[in-house]
Amino acid sequence: MTDYQTRSYWLGHKPYEPTGRLDGDLSADIVIMGGGFTGLWSAIQLKDADPALDIVLLEANVIGYGASGRNGGFAMTMVERNIAQLVRRVGPEQARAQHLAMVETLHEIEQFARDEEIDADITNPGLLTISNGPEQDLRIQQDLDAAEKLGLSDFHELDGAACQELVHSERLRCGHWEDGSLLVDPAALARGLKAAAMRRGVRIYESTPVDSLEAAPGGRVEARTAFGAVSADRGLIATNAYAHAIPALRKYLFTIYAYITLTERLTDEQWSRVGWEKRMGVEDKRIMPHFHRPTADGRILWGGRDAPCSAHGPDPKFDRDPYIFGRLEETFRWTFPQLHDVKMEHAWAGPVCGTYNVMATIGWLKGERLLYALGYAGHGVGPSHLAGKMVRDLMLDQKTQLTELPMVTLKPRALPPGPLKAAIINTGQRLLMKVDDTGGKGGGPLAKLALKLLQ
């Protein structure tokens, strides 16, 4: 086990007692590799469908060590870059079905946490998406048009005054409101899911990196570790960006790092300068967006903007970057000059896994013994619960409405190899950030090309 408490504010601000590592060989029905939201929700959904299933989950470090314990804590309906892009990608019928499945999943997360008494500061304040530049106004309108086309009643248009009433910043030009989005303490949620899985009889081992998870003789799979092997009928790869270590998956994935800064606690008087009474999450409409939210203990979390690509998958050297933390603080000060006396107190980063279509993918590796569920591209908090239900249906050989959704039916496409992929993504991002930082004017023709490739 490493210094996991230092990897994010969430992983360190509440006490945690990890469980022990694997000790010897085991046999099970299903072995899960990875103890983030995907592995945990999948284990829970499978057990709820068939309590007799014997499930073993192996986590390399501690539960929530990856993105699940480091994220912004926004559980949103978003599975693509936005609702307009989802419609462009899969057409209106599939986009509507996918969106409604996400609405239901968010209700279920909230209900589950309540039923299981998970203390993860879960609130249901909705989501404010705002424009803070002229080029972003158009993207707000595109979302609203798409939502109207799909007949969705959960998106509401807001003018600049209405946005500024919700959060006092002169930078807000217009926006939309979406009902039903949750905010969570992500590490506390992951730890609560671990307890819920163990109550159902799932055997969880931490500090147990899987060296290989492969087909084995007799139609079985085997997860090999330094401390023993787990033989099972089927296996789930739930390691998200860390799946870069698996050659059969690496070609479909890219790893970028997402960054977060967190202020000190604001006083009541400082909060009164920004309003924010609904304490909802806020995202802007930059191409490389920002996300901000209040925390239960009265801080402002400020994340997004730069997202460098790592050619070789997750690499702890990306976990801290003072230059990027400084750029985040810059936009925080630009947005809230009235909070000049509020200091930044924490900063961290984590690996985000993406596929060509910026949407999670759930599918079988050759032979239908090993399933993978990954690639949420920075939007996995809510969708990992939906992915867990899809994993359940696929593992139990059931064809359901969920297995007909794009997260299952859209197959991943191969990307260029590591260093070339990183060079393309990093160059593209630099151009796109220029567009963002100049209100849509900078970047030149290459930026236009990068924008086109995103769609």
Ligand X SMILES: Cc1cc2nc3c(=O)[nH]c(=O)nc-3n(C[C@H](O)[C@H](O)[C@H](O)COP(=O)(O)OP(=O)(O)OC[C@H]3O[C@@H](n4cnc5c(N)ncnc54)[C@H](O)[C@@H]3O)c2cc1C
| Site residues for ligand X per CB under 6 A | 33-39, 58-61, 65-68, 70-74, 76, 209-210, 238-242, 258, 260, 291, 303, 349-352, 374, 376, 378-382, 384
Helix (H, G, I), strand (E, B) or coil at 434: helix
Name residue 233's amino acid: D
Is residue 382 within 8 A of residue 433, CB to CB? The reply is no
Cβ 4 to ligand X, closest distance in Å?
Answer: 9
Q: Least Å distance between CB 206 and ligand X? A: 9
Q: Token digits for 323?
A: 């230059």
Selection from 48, 130, 15 nearest residue 396 by Cα = 48
By beta-carbon proximity to ligand X, the closer residue of 91 and 326 is 326
CB of 283 to ligand X, least distance (A): 9
Nearest residue to ligand X, using CB? 380
DSSP string spanning 302-345? Answer: EEES--PEETTS--GGGS--HHHHHHHHHHHHHH-GGGTTPPEE
The least CB distance from residue 441 to ligand X, in Å, is 29
CB atoms within 10 A of CB 454: 12
| CB nearer to ligand X: pick between 290 and 440 | 290
Task: Report the residue number, 112 or 376, with the smaller CB distance to ligand X.
Answer: 376
User: Taking a C-beta distance cutoff of 8 angstroms, is the pair 454, 81 a contact?
Assistant: yes
CA-CA-CA-CA torsion sign (430, 436, 442, 447): positive
Residue 192 Cβ vs ligand X, minimum distance, rounded to whole Å: 14
Closest approach of ligand X to the CB of residue 444, in Å? 30
Q: Rounded to whole angstroms, how far apart are CA atoms 376 and 362? A: 10
242 vs 276 by CB, closer to ligand X: 242
Nearer to ligand X, 72 or 294 (CB): 72
Q: What span, in angstroms and rounded, lies between the C-alpha atoms of 387 and 376? A: 10
Nearer to ligand X, 122 or 447 (CB): 122
